Amino acid sequence: MLTETYEDALKKLGGLLSKKSDLGKVAASKIKKLTVELEELDSNKSSDAVERIKSGFIHFKTHKYLFWCLLVRSDSRVSPTQILNFKPGEAFVVRNIANMVPPFDKTQHSGVGAALEFPVTALNGLMSIEDDAAPSKNVFIDNWVQIGTPAKNMEAVNVSLGNLLSYPFVKERVVKNKLALRGAHYDFVKGTFDLWELDFKTTPAFSFS
């Protein structure tokens, strides 16, 4: 167990350097590195995750345009915002399998189309539009959000959970307890995060005779 105080350590260091002045440059380099590490440690302790998120949204509101739209693969091992050190409000991220961009088609690939249309046209338009101006007609977004009509917020999540069961390979694994579906909703205004499980039950099949 270390019982030596930092005053004792500094005293010993001073005594060593007074005897071996050639170690001065090495000591200065190590002290500088230690100072940086201690400053980072102090910063991490005093920083508040909620405040960082709030500052990101303030940045988003006060800056007229987003500067980055990232199209990346849906790989759980890769976090593009962490790799590129983006804060909330600095980048719009679109993730899909193999980070592919399909050709423009109004009737197909509406998910990717809406994801691209939102940051390029709708989002910047909402940030810069005049109060008395009418928003432009979107090609993909309007049809895409109809999936959740008339549900909003948390209920829209439940609609998506229900729609997941329309995929046979998902439903099969849910029924066999090999896959669990959970919904989540984050309210960045109130700073609350809700998580819930899908209440899914099956009834045995029967026939009328």
Torsion, Cα of 55, 56, 61, 67 (10° steps): 140
Does residue 199 have a known ligand-binding role?
Answer: no
d(CA 63, CA 57): 10
d(CA 66, CA 77): 25
Q: What is the DSSP letter of 118?
A: I
Q: Are 37 and 30 in contact (CB under 8 A)?
A: no
Spell out a b/e string for 179-196, using b for 16 or more CB atoms within 10 Å of the CB, else e.
eebebeeeeeeeeeeeee
- 66: nearest Cα among 24, 39, 25, 94: 94
Tell me, what amino acid is at 120? V
Residue set of the binding site for Zn(2+): 75
Binding-site entries: 75
